[in-house]
Structure 1
Amino acid sequence: MTNKLFRVNATAVLLAISLVSMVPELSAEPMHTPTKMPKAKAESVGMSTEVLGRIDEIMREQMDAGRIQGGATIVARRGKVVHFSTHGEMNVEKSRAMETDALYIMASSAKPVIGVATLMLVDEGLISLSDPISKFIPEFANQKVVVSVKSPKMDGKKEWNKEKKGNKSKEWDKSKRKVSKGKVDEPLQQLVPSEIPLTIHHLLTHTSGLPRRAILRNKGDSLATYVPKLATAPLAFQPGTRFVYGNVGIHSVLPRIIEIVSETPFNEFMQKRIFDPLEMNNTHFHVPREKVSKLVLMEAYKSKGGGGLVSTVEDFLHFEQMLLNGGELFGHRLLRPETVKMMGTNQVGDLFATSGKGVKAQKGMGFGYAVSVTLDPIAADNGRGIGAFGWGGAAGTLHWTDPENDLVGVLMLQQSGSNVGRKFAKIIGKAIID
Structure 2
Amino acid sequence: MPLALIERWQKNPIYQALAQHPYREYVLSNIPNLLGLWIQRTTVGWLTWEMTHSGFWLGAISMAELAPSLLLTPVAGVFADRYSRIKLLRITQGLIFLQALLFCILLLNDLLTLPVLIGLVVIQGLVTSFAQPSRMALISSMVPRQHLTSAISLNAIIFNLARFLGPILAGAGLVWLNPTILLGCSATGYCWFWGILWYLKIQEKHVEQVRQTAPTSLIQSIRAGLHYARQHPLLGPWLAVFVVLCLGVRQLAELLPGVSDLLFYQGVEGLAMLSSGLGLGAVTGSIWMSQQPYEALPRIFRFSAWGLCLLLAILSWSPSFVLAVVIVAGCGLLLMVSGISTQTMLQLEVESQFRGRLLSLYGLVLRGGPAIGALLVGTTADWIELEWSLTIAAALTSLVLWRMLAQIPNNTAQPPGKMPFMTAPPSSPA
- TM-score tier after normalising by the smaller chain length: under 0.3
Structure 1 length-normalised TM: 0.24
RCO greater where, 1 or 2, for CA within 8 Å and sep 6 or more?
A: 2
Tell me which protein shows more strand as a share of its residues: 1
Bigger radius of gyration: 1
Greater helix percent: which structure?
2
